[in-house]
Chain A
């Protein structure tokens, strides 16, 4: 009876395997199409950029580090005007002068400068005297490129950004989820059926034998048989062992989770909503967390950054008033730290965001959907290592990695992973 069943099983599994395989390939192709298209777009744009006379890639970094806090690449007005089309409105010399010292341009009586100065309630723009001509050209090349790309890229949900490996799932999990859920329900039903059959068979067998040995009601019989089971030393010791092992496992699991604060979402002194700011208003993370591309810390924004907008917006809200109080009393806001790495571990945001090109959501989860900020990842060493094993190094346009890529290509056909360039070594994080 078993043999044909096994054959069946084999056949079935093969069938289902191949089906899943085909389905997953199809799914993968479907999923990758938009990103392929996007990639082509971006290469096309990058190819076109030098014609504009600036290095858009470099410009992007400069823009994100210096400009994005006040300017959008679109028409949108943030603190300063949106920069879309700015390079069309003025010649380069004027723009360069403005970037390096806008006050000087205003002082010179340039009518457009004065107009925009007054329009933005005489807010002074920071001067960037150190930016070279090439830098400024690069920034505007990026603005032009991103400004035109932005509406196109905005279409996919969540604004799937360049190359993020995690965001690749963003488009299609709903289908997959339904599929898996359905399969699970079927399996559950099957199991339930089998269990029912076993129960009825067993009770029949028990009642059959019971009739021979002794008579009594069902409960009495059940009690007797349970007693017999309880007095069986083999069963008893097995139970004890299982219990001990379970306790041991629970203890070990518990010990491993000491200090792991996954899901930690403390109440903050100001009920700031990332959902509102990052989700609804789509303010770039980098706008407030200014250090993320520069250094180790992403920076909790200082109160003056809040004031960039809240100097005019929603001043009357009691929560916003807390910021005003903080500034008046010169007393910083004491946020509760959510993501706590132990002091012995060194983590640098710039390495991961600027160099690695990771999205914030990779580690922090979907912050743009969080009313109260929460620790989504476990932040354990295993979690770090796991990611370093799986993640490909973002070597694109980074001369630092050229030699490594070349050497790696000679040795292996696999993509260059972080682990391949020493990403698992102790002193990458502990010193």
Chain B
């Protein structure tokens, strides 16, 4: 029974029929923990009969003792209950996540005064959903390895007063002698912080401020300066674009502001099966070296070696210029697929097209600007008048700062939210020179790679303990307010700077004054106090826009740019080129000590807890590499040794390694995980490039297992899990690509769902369900972390992921599809060079005819009257029959006690880390099954609120953690019994269209539906037909 004209495969292991894969496919669970793997009897599982009897005897004794006297528990009330704080009732505060240029306007949920969850702020016009990293930043608040007070040298007992006095004395002396004072930071989004730095500079006039970004976009700013005389990073509007070309810009995954871009892009990808509904989609071309999240969602993707990417931009420009009458530039001809097609369609969609490039090369950016200018994108899809501030780093200034430090010209260095020794290619040089700086102070929260070399660390609190503001895009402001009182003896960097400048050090008052003077005056209405309170409440303030987006006249020097490109890019190269990319979870690695992010599988490779050398199949075969071989990647004498992942879709002759790993002084979760590849990056024309050129790659002879999740759970060879079509077919028939299983009976052929053993359930009150749109799910993984934070899901660590015992309730399955014809059985055995990729969030489907429920011997999993499949941990005895019988493989077994267990030394193993636990959800103990509960605690809470107010629940009042985090609103949750709910209306339209149940033929009737993926590809010459073959 086969539904589509496609075959899907989850990894190369499946195509190769690897021994391990076959073994894991056969059994639901991999082998139990081996003997001696864990020492502790109670925490481990290698139990002998005698040990079992011992535990049994001890247990019985404990029970009888417990019966004698129950432990005395205390009930401790407040001394003075704060007004507005009610124990067990959550308070929400609007705040802002602004770390190193990453931005999200957020709501912080606090319980009894401690933040437990981060959600997106729907009032924001610049931020959509919450990324995985912003979600996980919550855990950073409870990081036990931060400094607990100021530190001088190795002295952690020093007081703030002493530190202040010594630093002010030295600053005064340095300023008097005219010594250079430098403040080094990553991108600062906060206008008031910049004002603080300006005030500090007034006091110490030899100060200058240098910003740099580890993942730099400095050349884009430069490119705009060269092209339009405006040194800005423009705002893009993907939602207005009909044709989008991305040249090495992972705008849905990691590039600059992916959440915003995803939300805009999703608007152009959303289609409806309604007769009057939207049936148009944007078309997206991607030219890139690695297989990025953006590339895997592109309609047409072309893999290009890094050394040719610049030529792609030039060639595309020439092709468009030829059609629109622009002046051509001289560039080496390059022949890559889809280039002509992209050019033709860009021209056809003139004024509604957009070309973006993430290449940090001013020449390429100038050509791309010229291209956009020809296409009339400025004023339509690109706005130079409303610049974005996400990346303000200046590579050139940073480089000269390193030279200054090396030359001993810097007398004082203040380090603010940056870690250049780790994340700058010249980090080693800096590390050697830093001890010469006479006064060096870090505001970082821990003694990291750079801070540990400095004389003072004046730790700043986490942003959830701080005041602050941000201006992510010109005219859009947002505020940061503390959601908890300070945990350690820390002080905000701004307060320190103000204090040292001899000013009042109350930064809160400072921001307020700054806003009164600079923000309130931009169209603030009413009394300032009211304006301030409202802004704090809303979290955001958008100044009324004064100017409409206008076009821009390109005035750059194209021939100079062309020669710049010609110098750096070659039409053909034979060597293995290195390219570095950003991991979607860890980002630039500044906040790497976060076990949630370390365990988030990278969307494409599905690997975690390591970085790898990704190599295409062809190249790996040529070099004789197997997956897991540790290879040495050497470029100009700098080398790292990392294991190989064979990655379909990667450009041949390229090796790609993720940045953000290999921290040495970040903490237990990050230290020694992966290898630091920043030193391998290089500079071209003064700009940081992640494509440093050709490298030698050689086997070391060692192998290392890779913690990869995708092939762990098999769907038992049932391949009708994904349903997809192309736009042209969808326009003709909304049911295109759908698979409707039929079963022949004595009464003729009937739908598979017409036959049932069961009577079904009646839902009188609510019927909770979900619809997941595969067309707008880009696989970013923010829902995975949101679910983990909401439901107290433990972190299991690298070894347990290798043992396929990860605990995520929600996973995102990544499928590659074979481009061979479905009849060509031999062809299907060969993995595609450039496969199409589909992402599918997979969680408990809450089946109405749930296979798990019928096999549980103790009724630990049952069905509710509201459509939920309930899991009762305290009833579960751990037979795992349910997981065995689950067709979707979404049930997780607690092999270990993951809290208070030194074998799992993450946040559940210390008191501070445990503060992140959501008090409404049970922390599961060892030996029970767990799975998605459809956030039943949120449902119950919303129902109670409605009951207290004597009304029905309003649609949208309750949302599940995954749906609320999604930047693109790919997940719709609601009550299917409420005819007015969004989900009912959506299903009404899509019932006879794109909505399908996964594995419909087994008739388990899930409460969760998926909507078919529609690709905006040209229809294949062969008409799609529903095929049936054994």
Q: Which A positions have Cβ atoms within 8 angstroms of B?
A: 61, 126, 254-255, 257-259, 261, 264, 266, 290-291, 293-297, 299-305, 326-327, 330-337, 340, 342-344, 346, 348, 350-351, 354-355, 397-404, 407, 421-422, 425-428, 430-431
Contact = CB atoms under 8 A, between A and B. Distances in A.
A427 B853 CA distance: 14
A315 B827 CA distance: 90
Interface string B66-101: 110010111111111101001111000000000000
A398 B947 contact: yes
Contacts of B947: 351, 354-355, 398, 400-401
B697 to A, nearest CB: 50
Contacts of A126: 83
Contact of A261 (B70, B862, B872): B70
B864 interface: yes
B396 interface: no
A407 B764 contact: yes
B66 A258 contact: yes
A337 B79 contact: no
Given A343-B922, A400-B952, A427-B936, A294 B874 contact: no
A225 to B, nearest CB: 41
Contact of B862 (A305, A426, A431): A426
Given A399-B952, A422-B866, A425-B862, A335 B75 contact: yes
Contact of B936 (A296, A332, A348, A431): A431
A426 B864 CA distance: 8
Given A348-B944, A422-B765, A426-B875, A300 B75 contact: yes
A346 B920 contact: yes
Contacts of A346: 920, 937, 940
Contact of B77 (A258, A335, A344): A335
A340 B70 contact: yes
Contact of A258 (B67, B74, B920): B67
Contacts of B904: none
Contacts of B86: 290-291, 294-295, 299
Interface in B5-22: none
A259 to B, nearest CB: 7
A322 B178 CA distance: 62
A355 B944 contact: yes
Contacts of A400: 943, 946-947, 950-953
A427 B868 contact: yes
A427 B950 contact: no
Contacts of B871: 426-427
A430 B70 contact: no
Interface of B: 63, 66-67, 70, 72-81, 83, 86-89, 764-765, 862, 864-866, 868, 870-875, 920-923, 933, 936-937, 940, 943-944, 946-948, 950-953
Contact of A399 (B864, B865, B875, B950): B950
Given A293-B948, A404-B764, 17 more contacts: A295-B86, A295-B88, A300-B76, A334-B75, A340-B70, A343-B922, A355-B948, A400-B943, A400-B947, A404-B765, A407-B764, A425-B865, A428-B940, A430-B870, A430-B874, A431-B920, A431-B936
A255 B63 CA distance: 8
Given A344-B922, A355-B944, A355-B948, A430 B77 contact: no
20 contacts: A254-B67, A255-B63, A291-B87, A294-B89, A295-B89, A296-B89, A300-B76, A342-B874, A343-B923, A344-B873, A346-B920, A399-B950, A399-B951, A400-B951, A400-B952, A421-B764, A425-B870, A426-B875, A427-B933, A431-B936
Nearest to B81: A302
Contacts of A422: 765, 864-866
A295 B66 contact: no
Contacts of A431: 870, 920-922, 933, 936-937, 940
Contacts of B923: 343
Given A302-B78, A303-B77, A400-B946, A427 B872 contact: yes
Contacts of A430: 870, 872-875, 922
Interface of B is mostly: loop
A157 B63 CA distance: 44
Contacts of A399: 950-952
B509 to A, nearest CB: 24
A248 to B, nearest CB: 15
A336 B944 contact: no
B59 to A, nearest CB: 12
Nearest to B868: A427
A299 B77 contact: yes
A330 B865 contact: no
A322 B766 CA distance: 51
Contacts of B872: 426-427, 430
Given A344-B874, A430-B922, A335 B67 contact: no
B864 A425 contact: yes
A302 B765 contact: no
Nearest to A336: B72
B775 to A, nearest CB: 32
A337 to B, nearest CB: 4
A126 to B, nearest CB: 8
Contact of A331 (B70, B74, B75, B79): B79
Find the residue from A259, A331, A398, A400 having the highest chain B CB count within 10 A.
Answer: A400
A327 B81 CA distance: 12
Nearest to B924: A344
A305 to B, nearest CB: 7
Contact of B87 (A299, A401, A403, A404): A299
Nearest to B87: A297
Given A400-B946, A404-B764, A332 B864 contact: no
Contacts of A254: 67
B66 A335 contact: no
A266 B80 contact: no
A402 to B, nearest CB: 8
Contacts of B946: 400
Contacts of A426: 862, 864, 870-872, 875
A303 B864 CA distance: 42
A332 B78 contact: yes
B346 to A, nearest CB: 52
Given A351-B947, A422-B865, A422-B866, A327 B79 contact: yes
Counting from the closest, the 10 A-B pairs by CB-CB distance are A296-B88, A302-B78, A427-B870, A302-B81, A422-B865, A337-B75, A426-B872, A337-B73, A300-B77, A295-B89
Nearest to A330: B79
B193 to A, nearest CB: 33
A332 B77 contact: yes
A342 B923 CA distance: 12
A403 B978 CA distance: 11
Nearest to A261: B70
A398 B949 CA distance: 8
A311 B104 CA distance: 47
Contacts of B933: 427, 431
Contacts of A293: 948
A255 B66 CA distance: 10
Contacts of A402: 952
Nearest to B63: A258
B765 A301 contact: no
Contacts of B874: 342, 344, 430
Contacts of A259: 66-67, 70
Nearest to A355: B947
A254 B67 CA distance: 8
A348 B947 CA distance: 13
Contacts of A294: 86, 89
Contacts of B89: 291, 294-296
Nearest to B866: A422
B74 A350 contact: no
A344 B873 CA distance: 8
Contacts of A332: 76-79
B70 to A, nearest CB: 6
A264 B70 CA distance: 10
Contacts of B75: 300, 334-337
